[in-house]
Amino acid sequence: MNSSFSSPAPMICDQQTDLQPFFAHCIDEAKRKGGLVYSSITFETSYCDPLAVLEQIHTNKKSIYYLEKPNDEFSVACGDPIERGTFNGSQRFQEAKIWSENFLSQIHTAGDNQVAGTGPTLFLNATFENNPSDPDLPALQIFLPHWQVLRKGGTHYIIVNSKISSSSSPHTLAEDVFGTLQRFNELHDRGPIRQTFKKVQLDRPKESSDYEESVGQALQAIRDGKISKIVLARKLTYRTKQELAVFSIAHDLRNKFPDCYTFCMSTPDEGMFIGSTPEILSRVSGTSLETEAVAGTAPRGPSAGKDAHLGKTLLGRNKEVREHRLVIDSILRRLKSTGITQCKEGLPRLLRLANLQHVRTPLRATLAEGIHPFDALAALHPTPAMGGSPREQALPMVNELEGFSRGWYSGIAGWFDARGRGEFIVPIRCGKINPGSLTLYAGAGIVEGSIPSNEKAETDWKFEAMLEVITGRTTLPNE
pLDDT per position in the chain (479 positions), as tens? 554 444 579 999 999 999 999 999 999 999 999 999 999 999 999 988 999 999 998 887 789 999 999 999 999 999 999 999 999 999 999 999 999 999 999 999 999 999 999 999 999 999 999 999 888 899 999 999 999 999 999 999 999 999 999 999 999 999 999 999 999 988 865 655 555 566 788 889 999 889 999 999 999 999 999 999 999 999 999 999 888 999 999 999 999 999 999 999 998 877 999 999 999 999 999 889 999 999 888 899 999 999 999 999 999 988 888 888 888 998 999 999 988 888 999 999 999 999 899 999 999 999 888 889 999 999 999 988 899 989 999 999 999 999 999 999 999 999 999 999 999 999 999 999 999 999 999 999 999 999 999 999 999 999 998 999 999 876 555 54
Coil vs helix vs strand at 377:
helix
> Structural domain boundaries of the chain?
20-187, 206-471
In single-letter form, the type of residue at position 291 comes to: T
CB 77: neighbour CB atoms within 10 A? 26
Q: How many CA atoms lie within 13 A of 210 on its CB side?
A: 5
- CA 465 to each of CA 149, 201, 277, 349, 403: distance values in angstroms, whole numbers, following the listed order: 27, 16, 10, 22, 23
SS3 157: strand
Cβ pair 235, 208 in contact under 8 A: yes
Whether the link from the prior residue into 278 is cis, omega within 30° of 0, is no
* Phi, psi of 28, rounded to the nearest 5 degrees: -60, -40
Topology adopted by domain 206-471: Anthranilate synthase (3.60.120)
CB-CB contact of 130 with 90 (8 Å): yes
Please count the other Cβ atoms lying within 10 Å of the Cβ belonging to residue 448.
13
Q: Is 182 helix (H, G, I), strand (E, B) or coil?
A: helix
47 class by beta-carbon count within 10 Å (0-12 exposed, 13-18 middle, 19+ buried): exposed
Task: Give the chain's length.
Answer: 479
In eight-state DSSP terms, residue 126 is: E
B/e letters for 25-45, b = 16+ CB within 10 Å, e = fewer, are: bbbebbeeeeeebbbbbbbbb
Helices 246-256 and 50-57: crossing angle, nearest 10°?
A: 170
